[in-house]
Chains A and B, each alone.
Chain A
Amino acid sequence: MGANYDAIVIGGGHNGLTCAAYLAKAGRKILVLERRHVLGGAAVTEEIYPGYHYSTCSYVVSLLRPKIIRDLDLPSHGLEIMPLEQSFQPLHDGRGLVRWSDWEKTRRELARLSPRDAEIYPEFGRTMVQMARFVKPILDMVPPDPGSLDPRGLSDLLRLGKRFQNLGPDLQAVKYRMLTMSAVDFLDGWFESDSLKAVMSVSGIIGTFLGIRSPGTAYVLLHHYMGEIDGAFRSWGLSKGGTGGISLAIASAARSYGAEIRTESPVQKVLLKNGSSEGVVLESGEEIRARVVVSGTDPRLTLLGFVGEENLDDETVSALKNFKMRGSSGKVNLALDRIPDFTCRPGVGPHLFGDIAIAPSIEYLERAYDQAKYGDFSERPYLNIVIPSLTDPTVAPPGKHVMSIFVQYAPYHIKEGPEYWPKKREAFGDAVIDTLSEYCPGIKEAILHRHVLTPWDLEQEYGLTEGNIFHGELSLDQLFFLRPSPKMARFRTPIENLWMCASGSHPGGGIMGAPGMLAARELLRTRTV
């Protein structure tokens, strides 16, 4: 029987949809299969309680590639991104700290904490932007294979080396230190204020099972500065109608190019013949054939789940098992009947329109990590909060609000075992609210609904293995040509005609769309489809 489609994409998350849209745009016949009733994967908007539209999982856009927005003409499909311009850190003493997109305004805020830090802050920003300029093109390239003698790969490596050299001696050293140092040690070299270092360092740990003192976390600080040079919007933004709006815009673009998208169509397995993929079998028993199957799910679910250990060689199986996917975070979504005051800065002001970080000190964050290391959720976790209804009133009924709280650490592997998480879900939710109410005392009275997602829920409901929001930790040993393993780093798998196109591949997680775009480009370049 011939193939019905050129390519089947498993999973209607933003990367799967991006890949599908690019392939469809190139004239290929594409089918996207989504397990759930709603598109978006972890970039999804759901109306859990009537009138309240939660960005259930991922809640901010970070680094969505401007090229994708242009190539797929996403604004005409309804994409609208509103920048998150500031970052508020409530503290117990003083007025807390707001870092604005305007450096001069930030400098005045910082001067209250440390005049010295206030002076250095702009210089730090400039250095980071230069660093980010070096790193950014890596996001848009297919990783070379350093072990191969393929001239294409070698020239990629040489180009990378040349670019590194062009940074000049001083920046080379900074770059190298960023790759290897902890966020705290790196920031110690610049700043003296403990609370400033704390709030700046947290971007280094999101989605990893690391602490802010763990080497390698300095590197991720750069992600905050990459948006600045992308030009389209600042590093962080909210999508109108919730994060799902991005996925829906990409889906609409894909459809406009002729892609077919089916929801509530869970894939059971990849159809194999002589070690090569021929299509998929749905849980309903339906068989659909295609020249290529592209998986938008994580590497472990793709291969150990849909292909099966029995069809894989030992090396691949152990690489997949060694690929670290330890989920470390949870999510609490609140429906509020008002915005309560933060003690240090009362009133609804512009400081609440950006993100709000509960990260008061280095020791606070480090102790949160220590609890998680030994299998507990942090009693006093790091919280990253946004109130999207302030910027986008369409997501809540008039006068009401939604609050999105990202919580770290909530380890998937708790000491009672991950399946015990449902029994701890409410205690986890309580810890989050108790933490928040130390800075925002009226929060408890303002809550109308509370929706708690543990790493276990992220796995069960959203198909994220071990609840890892990035389809695998973003640690140095799992990036670039090592993501998810040297043999699978270029979107291919050991199964012929089975490819991957999501966050488990280079350049990793977050709402970037880069893996989806790069996988499609590579599929087309090699004429696989």
Chain B
Amino acid sequence: MSYDTIVIGAGHNGLTAAGLLARGGRRVLVVERRGEVGGLASSTEFNPGYRTAGILHDTTGVRASVIKDLDLEKHGLRRRSEPVPVFLPERKGTGLLLHRDPSKAAPEINSFSARDADRYAKYQAFHSRLGRFLLPLLNGPSPPVAGNDRSDFWGMIKAGMNMRRLGRKEMIEFLRLAPMPLRDWMEESFETPLLQSALAAPGLSASLLGPWSPGTATGLMMYEAVRGAGIQGGAPALVRALLAACESRGVEVRLNESVSRIRLRAGVVVGVTLAGGEELDGSMVASSCDPRTTFLDLMTPRDLPLDLERGMQNFKARGNVAKVHLALTGPLAFACRPDLEPENIRIGESLVSLEKAFDCVKYGEMPVEPCLDVAVPSLSDPSLAPDGGHVVSILVYAVPPTGTLEWTDARREELGDLVVSRLASYAPELRDRIVGREVLTPLDLEREYGLNGGHLYHGEQGLDQVLFMRPVPTCAQYSTPLEGLWLCGSGSHPGGGITCGPGMIAAAAILNS
């Protein structure tokens, strides 16, 4: 069989790229190793009757233009009307229900600090102004600045001029904040420790860094710039719509087929070889696997230019996030606010506690009090759990990567116990309601989802691995030094998370070529 394009991996980025390529008239095949589509966005039954809403549960970054271009709403996708507030519980006190809208957030923040309520409005306004400059940067290919053959002086000038449109004051502020540690930014901005840590946490999920680490402010700015209201039914609903859109445009999807090799002839990609030995021809191959898997596992080093091989060996993808799913017989209720049934919860008492969790990870030790990003997806999609039951989805930030700690079965359970007791210290009825639990360490994530290093974003997102540096300068425009091989996954700009961004921009780049 011969195709125009073979997409490796049916995660949300692979499906996005496939759908958009088919829309552009290409004949597309998607090859998926697992028995279902969706990758990190897919729903799995982790306990009888209980299903997850994906490994990554935040859908606020999904790009509007993908929804439009693939007619996803016609294929059943519904957007939320407004963002879900995040609850920040306390052991003593009332906790803080944090709305994105400053006017809704004000009364809650006021009970901690009137000054912070006022600053929060300014902080959100700053993000939305900054978003006008960052969004074009995150919705298109990164400007070809450094290390690319096509790097041109005018590309740099254009990027600079675009930034100047922010206005003098805002531009200087952006340049000042970008290399800063989140701790400095948060302490300049707010005085409530709970607020400081809750706002900082998303900026820390993507790399092996703590709030004291310089440059973490950029991660947060990029996260905030793309935030929308999210998808009804979360990541699995997105996957269902993407698959339907792909199928309606004639994309073929083969499950349970793993690619063992990307085939080359005279340095040009001609297709793939499957694990069973079958050879598929395609004039182009677009890989949505992480870059290390693509270049180091699916190819032989001698096929790669030396600098690309070296670049891939130095590409950092140290998985620092674990996942815990809990099956509950009743709601997740917090002692400090029993009347509330929050859908999103963030646990991390202060910036110091976030930094201390990172300290442990540096030395390959189990974190003492890891930051937890918790979702209860069964509140918006009751079909995930039996009647009255709930699913709790927990991303555990700051766990030691596979290279630094040997993730044995015992350690996996130790981590599970740690997370449960941490959550239970805020939600005391939790333990009695747990009927099932799944713990996925970075090693499990590597094995189950084929992530080299177990990194959920296909590679860390420190300042040295974003924009024109992602994953390496010579592959930053989705094409690679190997003719016919393209990248379309989270290891490419604009990076990881359920966003469809890399798939979208890669498809456009392929269609333009």
Contacts and interface: CB of A to CB of B under 8 A. Distances in A.
Interface of A: 146-148, 157-158, 161-162, 164-165, 169-170, 172-173, 175-177, 179-182, 185, 188-189, 210-211, 213-216, 322, 324, 363, 366, 370, 373-374, 475-477, 482, 486
Contacts of A182: 213
Most buried by A among B212, B307, B464, B473: B464
Interface in B217-270: none
Contact of B147 (A172, A363, A475): A172
Interface in B362-383: 362-363
Residue from the set A146, A180, A181, A475 with the largest chain B CB neighbour count within 10 Å: A180
Given A147-B168, A180-B462, A215 B362 contact: no
Given A170-B307, A172-B146, A215 B153 contact: no
A324 B464 contact: no
A214 B171 contact: no
B212 to A, nearest CB: 6
B214 A475 contact: yes
A373 B362 CA distance: 15
Main secondary structure of the interface of A (DSSP, over half): helix
Contacts of A188: 314
B148 interface: yes
Given A176-B147, A214-B214, A477 B180 contact: yes
Interface string B159-200: 010001000110110011111110010001000000000000
B214 A146 contact: no
B209 interface: yes
Contact of B179 (A164, A322, A374, A477): A477
A262 to B, nearest CB: 38
Contact of B215 (A169, A170, A215, A322): A215
A175 B212 contact: no
A138 B168 CA distance: 23
A486 B463 CA distance: 22
B469 interface: yes
B175 A146 contact: yes
Given A146-B175, A363-B363, A177 B469 contact: yes
B318 to A, nearest CB: 10
B275 interface: no
Interface residues of B, number: 45
B340 interface: no
A222 to B, nearest CB: 16
B178 to A, nearest CB: 8
Given A161-B157, A173-B147, A216 B179 contact: yes
A182 B180 CA distance: 13
A182 B214 CA distance: 9
Contacts of B188: 322
Contact of B184 (A161, A181, A324): A324
Given A146-B171, A172-B473, A176-B145, 13 more contacts: A146-B175, A165-B156, A169-B146, A169-B474, A172-B146, A173-B147, A176-B147, A180-B462, A213-B213, A216-B179, A475-B179, A475-B180, A477-B178
Nearest to A489: B172
Nearest to B311: A173
A144 to B, nearest CB: 12
B92 to A, nearest CB: 23
Contacts of B184: 324, 477
Contacts of A216: 179, 214-215
Contacts of B178: 477
B469 A173 contact: yes
B113 interface: no
A179 B352 CA distance: 26
Nearest to B352: A374
A181 B169 CA distance: 27
12 contacts: A162-B153, A169-B474, A173-B147, A173-B472, A214-B212, A214-B214, A215-B214, A215-B462, A216-B215, A363-B363, A475-B179, A477-B176
B470 to A, nearest CB: 12
A165 B149 CA distance: 11
A301 B339 CA distance: 53
Contacts of A148: 168
B349 interface: no
A477 B147 contact: no
Contact of A486 (B160, B164, B172, B363): B172
A191 to B, nearest CB: 12
Contacts of A477: 176-180, 184, 214
Nearest to A210: B214
B430 to A, nearest CB: 30
A169 B151 contact: yes
Given A146-B172, A165-B153, A176 B464 contact: yes
B120 to A, nearest CB: 18
B464 A476 contact: no
Given A147-B172, A180-B462, A180-B463, A213 B362 contact: yes
Contacts of B151: 165, 169, 172
A214 B362 contact: no
A477 B146 CA distance: 21
Contacts of A146: 160, 164, 171-172, 175
Contact of A214 (B148, B213, B314): B213
B314 A189 contact: yes
A326 B44 CA distance: 50
A178 to B, nearest CB: 9
B171 A147 contact: yes
A370 B359 contact: yes
A169 B212 contact: no
Nearest to B469: A176
B214 A476 contact: yes
A187 B178 CA distance: 23
Contacts of B464: 176-177, 180-181, 185, 215
Given A170-B147, A215-B214, A482-B175, A161 B153 contact: yes
Nearest to A373: B212
A482 B179 CA distance: 11
Contacts of B116: none
Contacts of A185: 316, 464
